[in-house]
Amino acid sequence: MPPSRTLRTQVGIVGAGPAGLLLSHLLHLEGIESIVIETQTRAHIEERVRAGVLEHGTVDLLNATGLGDRMRREGLVHHGIELRFNGRGHRIDFHALTGRGITVYAQHEVIKDLVAVRTSAGGQILFEVAEVRIEDFDTTAPRIRFQHDGEDCLIACDYIAGCDGFRGVCRPAVPAGALRCYEKVYPFGWLGILAEAPPASDELIYANHERGFALMSMRTPQITRLYLQCHPDEDLSLWPDDRIWDELQRRFATTDGFRLNEGPIFQKGVTAMRSFVTEPMQYGRLYLAGDAAHIVPPTGAKGLNLAAADVFVLSNALAHAFRTGSEARLARYSEICLRRVWRAQHFSWWMTSLLHRFEDASGFDHRRQLAELDQVTSSCAAATTLAENYTGLPFTLPGEYS
């Protein structure tokens, strides 16, 4: 069936998450046209509650590319985190150890800033598309087919960026056997809430407790974000607000009487925990970025930051290809990204293993975790390793690219 509407662009981008929208913005700054297609509505993606910790390098990239105004005004700059175990808190001072910090600024606020900047620059984002299929990406004339406003549409482009998240259509469209996937599924999830209550601490608190892991984060000085380790398929109806607060207070309790501030809970959800990597992150003229290519458990706060790092590399390689006709940089896209991805995988797995309660864990395993936490909070070398990884590796390109 011929499409009723055909569009032409240089880069067709599937998915308006952080990866797809930031890629579109970075390409625009390089003078390259793109069209982004998204299955959800604009309101949905601008309200979807997900990550909230921006690494130093992500913040620098957003600032350098004109996306930092609201983040600088409303984001909360943190210079450390607390690790809490055995009823006591221990601060890891990122700034003293690395000279760097992190910024707490919700992912959906980054999305609002990206949609606003793309829209004001005349960028095309097509929301509420359906039946998305990618074709001919093993040729020099890839195409994306989809339905929009009741019409069969086609985007003819030079390259496709698969930024459609873990459950998107791009990665599964690659012929069987061309990609190798590495996966680890964890036997627990996180029950996350947003509550109208001022955070009880200025910095994030990661708690290792015999009843399970808990994390206190924040979105604003009035809104606390809290997580509890739970079963991956936890039934939320079994968790009335009182039970959630009771469990959180127990896991954060300290010998000196710490209490979380409680308030109305206005959002609840369960997130499963998985580590996943696709190698390579490319097939023909299809380039996968962000969650479409890799997933990390959220303990290390790396998912959104990896998506930003991928498209930083991809936008540079695409710009080079359009400018010079050489695909040499695109050919190294996977190799460059995967080095960082595996470092983040290791860190996220390590933080997860250090802080969570495993069902089959013995008393020995728990004592070993506590010994490791003792080391991380008392050895400068161990604390520096955590701080370097948490605040993030620099966003750099190979020296020969400059």
Minimum CB–partner distance for residue 263 and ligand FAD (Å): 19
**Residue 333 among the catalytic residues:** no
Among 273, 304, 313, 373, binds ligand FAD (CB under 6 A): 304
CA 83 to chain centre: 22
Among 106, 132, 337, 351, binds ligand FAD (CB under 6 A): 132
Among 15, 80, 189, 392, binds ligand FAD (CB under 6 A): 15
286-288 and 223-230: which strand pairing? unpaired
Residue 155 binds ligand FAD, judged by CB under 6 A: no
294-295 and 265-279: which strand pairing? antiparallel
CA distance 295 to 276: 5
Residue 301 binds ligand FAD, judged by CB under 6 A: yes
Minimum CB–partner distance for residue 140 and ligand FAD (Å): 23
214-220 and 223-230: which strand pairing? antiparallel
Spatial strand order of the sheet with 53-54 comes to: 53-54, 102-104, 76-78
Residue 336 binds ligand FAD, judged by CB under 6 A: no
Which amino acid, one-letter code, is at 273?
M
Among 169, 309, 337, 354, binds ligand FAD (CB under 6 A): 169
| Nearest of 295, 308, 277 to residue 21 by alpha carbon | 308
Among 12, 57, 162, 165, binds ligand FAD (CB under 6 A): 165
Length of the chain: 402
Segment contacting ligand FAD by CB under 6 A, of 15-23, 230-238, 239-247, 386-394: 15-23
Residue 124 binds ligand FAD, judged by CB under 6 A: no
For ligand FAD (CB under 6 A), the number of binding residues is 30
CA distance 312 to 289: 10
Q: Which of residues 81-120 bind ligand FAD (CB under 6 A)?
A: 107
Phi and psi at residue 254, to the nearest 5°: -125, 165
Exposure string for 186-200, b = 16+ CB within 10 A, e = fewer: bebbbbbbbbebebb
**Residue 79 among the catalytic residues:** no
Who's near 394: CB < 8 A, 6+ residues apart? Answer: 56, 57
The residue annotated as part of the active site, out of 105, 159, 186, 206, is 206
CB 314 within 8 A of CB 333: yes
Segment contacting ligand FAD by CB under 6 A, of 10-18, 115-123, 150-158, 171-179: 10-18
Count other C-beta atoms under 10 Å from residue 40's C-beta. Answer: 15
Which amino acid, one-letter code, is at 4?
S
Minimum CB–partner distance for residue 9 and ligand FAD (Å): 15
CA distance 285 to 287: 6
Minimum CB–partner distance for residue 45 and ligand FAD (Å): 5
Segment contacting ligand FAD by CB under 6 A, of 24-32, 280-288, 302-310, 334-342: 302-310
The residue annotated as part of the active site, out of 18, 142, 199, 298, is 298
Q: Which helix (H) or strand (E) holds 315?
A: helix 303-324
For ligand FAD, the closer of residues 59 and 307 by Cβ is 307
CA atoms within 13 A on the CB side of 53: 24
For ligand FAD, the closer of residues 96 and 142 by Cβ is 142
Which two tokens mark 90?
């221990």
**Residue 390 among the catalytic residues:** yes
What Rg do the C-alpha atoms of the chain give, in angstroms? 22
Residue 229 DSSP code? E
Minimum CB–partner distance for residue 214 and ligand FAD (Å): 13
Q: Which of residues 21-60 bind ligand FAD (CB under 6 A)?
A: 37-40, 45, 50-51
Residues that bind ligand FAD (CB under 6 A): 14-20, 37-40, 45, 50-51, 107, 129, 132, 163-165, 168-169, 271, 290-291, 298, 301, 303-304, 307
- Positions marked active-site: 78, 206, 298, 302, 390
